[in-house]
Amino acid sequence: MRILMIVLCLIFITHLSATIINIPADQPTIQEGINVAVDGDTVLVQPGTYVENINYNGKNITVGSLFLTTPDTTYISQTIIDGNENGSVVKFESGEDSSAVLYGLTITNGLGGGTYPNYTGGGITCNNSNPSLKNLVITDNVTGDFGGGIYCEYSSPNLKNIVISDNFACTAGAGILCNNSSPILENVTIAGNSTNYSDGGAIGCHQNSSPSLINSILWGNFSQGVYFSAGFEPNSITISYSDIQGGESGIVTNNNGIVYWLDGNIDADPLFADPLNGDYHLCWTNFPIPDSTKSPCIDAGDPNLPLDPDSTIADIGAFYFDQTQTGIGNLSINQITESQLHQNHPNPFNPTTTISFSLQNNSNIELSIYNLKGQKVKQLVIDQLSAGEHSVVWDGKDGNNKPVTSGIYFYKLEAGDFQRVRKMILLK
């Protein structure tokens, strides 16, 4: 009994000694806040853009936005760490454990690289560390080698409620590169990432890596979603209640590992709200009408996990669809409040894809396809169309009716003053 009382007293004293370091009120930069922190402290970051590259330096502390202290998710997009193409944006490389937390921030504009064995990821580097990464957007980071969004070396971070999007890796693992690592991904969306080669647009697994995915989405990554390296130690991946583009057969193992394909997995367009502009929320057109277009990821997560905040079965992906909202999207054709260009379906595609758009008013419109150089590949439509919903099919051929090569293309809609561009991927 006496020993128990001593332990409880120590826990209480430790709790009382924890400090909140406000940025920029107490320290001018996030890194300077980390430098003065001790284990158990919190570096609380006010909204703004912080142009810096931070390193936890072995400290098991929490760095987060005001989303830590409020239920307001908008603080994630309002609180940005910009790496200024000056290396990895965030580094965990000194044995940090799961009590080292990065929470509620946008991680962007990092530049990874290096040479063996000192590779770094564009957004986040985990080397011999196991941090907790929660409620993050990791986007528009680049690496000349491995891990555009996240690079893991002998690390097993826990990832929850994270979007990893539009990152680039020259060699492998545009979203995440795992090297002797076993990260756990729960409600993670990996979308729109790309590599120069075929080594995992979403996840690359090297040398005895074994990531686990639950309630997660891998969609629209170029080229393969999951890729196992060949010629090294075998890898594995465990997937359940997730939306994986191409399904189990789309995972490239190179006969070098095992895919544990468990219950609840699907292969269906998740119907993101506006992925071109970084919005990876799920859509339910004309909610709550039952027969309206509903993302297949809504209510499709693991039913044994806690319910979403709206008291419905967990959704798949980083963002849940709030079914307590009312009066959203219940519009007839004559009630369209603004013109829209929707994401093509399917995407990536081969050989055809459908492009849909909504017109608020009768309009003279032009819909055209462009390549990465900005050259017009084909004009699909030039006509006067009435207000309402419209769609057109592109067969992957140019203006001379010749098939185009695999790669990234853009489609642009012009309708009066309305202009919008979206990205799509052709895979052959």
Residue range 292-304, pLDDT digits in tens: 789 999 999 999 9
Render pLDDT for 32-45 as a digit per residue (tens, 0 to 9): 999 999 999 999 99
pLDDT given for residue 408 in this prediction = 83
Of the ranges 55-64, 169-178, 234-243, 322-331, which one carries the lowest mean pLDDT score? Answer: 322-331
pLDDT band at 291 (very low <50, low <70, confident <90, very high): low
Domain boundaries of the chain, sorted by first residue: 16-261, 333-426
d(CA 294, CA 284): 4
d(CA 22, CA 29): 10
pLDDT band at 420 (very low <50, low <70, confident <90, very high): confident
The whole-number average pLDDT for the span 278-286 is 87
H or E stretch at 35: helix 30-36
What secondary structure letter does DSSP report for 130? -
Backbone Cα Rg of the chain: 23
Instruction: Please report, rounded to a whole number, the percentage of residues in the chain having pLDDT higher than 70.
Output: 93
pLDDT band at 12 (very low <50, low <70, confident <90, very high): very low
What secondary structure letter does DSSP report for 229? P
The whole-number average pLDDT for the span 397-414 is 90
130 and 124 Cβ atoms separated by less than 8 Å: no
Pick the CATH number of 333-426 from 3.50.50.60, 3.30.43.10, 3.40.50.460, 2.60.40.4070: 2.60.40.4070
pLDDT given for residue 386 in this prediction = 84
* Mean pLDDT, all residues of the chain: 89
CA distances from 315 to 185, 265, 299, 323 (A): 14, 12, 5, 11
Cα dihedral 191, 154, 213, 260, rounded to 10, equals: 120
pLDDT band at 222 (very low <50, low <70, confident <90, very high): confident
pLDDT band at 71 (very low <50, low <70, confident <90, very high): confident
pLDDT given for residue 145 in this prediction = 87
| Kind of pairing between the strands at 106-108 and 132-139 | parallel
Class of domain 16-261: mainly beta
Look at the block and give the residue holding tokens 């307590």: 324
pLDDT given for residue 417 in this prediction = 84
CA distances from 39 to 14, 59, 89, 94 (A): 10, 6, 21, 13
Report for 87-96, 116-125, 291-300, 340-349: range of highest mean pLDDT:
87-96
pTM given for the model: 0.77
The whole-number average pLDDT for the span 210-235 is 92
pLDDT given for residue 198 in this prediction = 65
d(CA 10, CA 105): 32
Nearest by Cα to 212 from 252, 178, 256: 178
Question: Would the pLDDT of 155 be above 90?
Answer: yes
The whole-number average pLDDT for the span 94-105 is 97
Say which residue, 403 or 344, is predicted with more confidence: 403
* Cα-based angle 51, 54, 57 (whole degrees, multiple of 5): 165
pLDDT given for residue 321 in this prediction = 92
